[in-house]
A and B are shown apart, each in its own frame.
Chain A
């Protein structure tokens, strides 16, 4: 994986988690701006996953290739699903303030997946 890109991904996920918690604290449901912020983070994750996948297919040998590929998929998929859930209607009254916290949970879980990816990447054979 690319170290510089990974740092950018971490910063983006950290900011996203803080952003989610802040809009929950401010009692604001996730809006269009929240979706754009999530979109930027997901775009970075997609680039990271594409680079890593190409290198694995291109012959970089890992100790646990299937686990690595699963984590790659998870790292990309969690945030869009969490955001969909966060912005869905709650009791017929639109999304609530808690949507931001759901996005924060997704961001933290994605960050954990990226840490695991780095461990697995370091265990090259």
Chain B
């Protein structure tokens, strides 16, 4: 079976959710960094980082260039590692981040969508890739 575009069919729904997270995480980080960077610099830089990861994942999933799929794989894997690492860290050491980020407590502030989204993303990337002929 040949490769299927990641932006086809239900992939659109996934891209829509990624796009919304890209927008909200980036906008939130921009406001936080512009208005009160000194209060929680690590948390705000992490928000900005997560926003960039979501943007790259959105671009990778929506694009059809040769590098799109690799970009999507990389961004979604970083996203999964990020939400697991930051989630675990914030649970065991709640004082480390004075202000919440998208990934704090595994994305609890966002209905745990940040935890589920990379899993669905990886599943979709795997599902749509070209299968190796036997």
Asked if B31 contacts A85 (CB within 8 A), the reply is no
Asked if B23 contacts A90 (CB within 8 A), the reply is no
Asked if B20 contacts A78 (CB within 8 A), the reply is yes
Identify the stretch in A3-11, A46-54, A98-106 within 8 Å (CB) of chain B at 4 or more residues: A98-106
Choice from A67, A78, A85, A91 contacting B8 with Cβ under 8 Å:
A91
Q: Would you call B81 an interface residue if the criterion is a C-beta within 8 Å of the partner chain's C-beta atoms?
A: no
Q: Would you call A13 an interface residue if the criterion is a C-beta within 8 Å of the partner chain's C-beta atoms?
A: no
Choice from A74, A85, A86 contacting B23 with Cβ under 8 Å:
A74
Asked if A70 contacts B17 (CB within 8 A), the reply is no
How many angstroms from the CA of A29 to the CA of B49 in the assembled complex?
Answer: 36
User: What's the nearest-Cβ distance from chain B to residue A71, in Å?
Assistant: 9
Contacts of A105 in B (CB 8 A): 13, 16-17, 20
Choice from B8, B10, B31, B34 contacting A101 with Cβ under 8 Å:
B10
Interface size on B, residues (CB 8 A): 18
CB contact under 8 A between A102 and B27, given known A66-B35, A91-B5: no
Interface size on A, residues (CB 8 A): 19
DSSP majority for the A interface? helix
Contact with A along B1-39 (1 / 0, CB 8 A): 000010111111101110010011001000100110000
Asked if A101 contacts B13 (CB within 8 A), the reply is yes
User: What's the nearest-Cβ distance from chain A to residue B42, in Å?
Assistant: 20
How many angstroms from the CA of A109 to the CA of B7 in the assembled complex?
Answer: 20
9 closest Cβ contacts across the A-B interface?
A101-B13, A105-B16, A109-B20, A102-B16, A98-B12, A98-B10, A91-B8, A102-B12, A67-B31
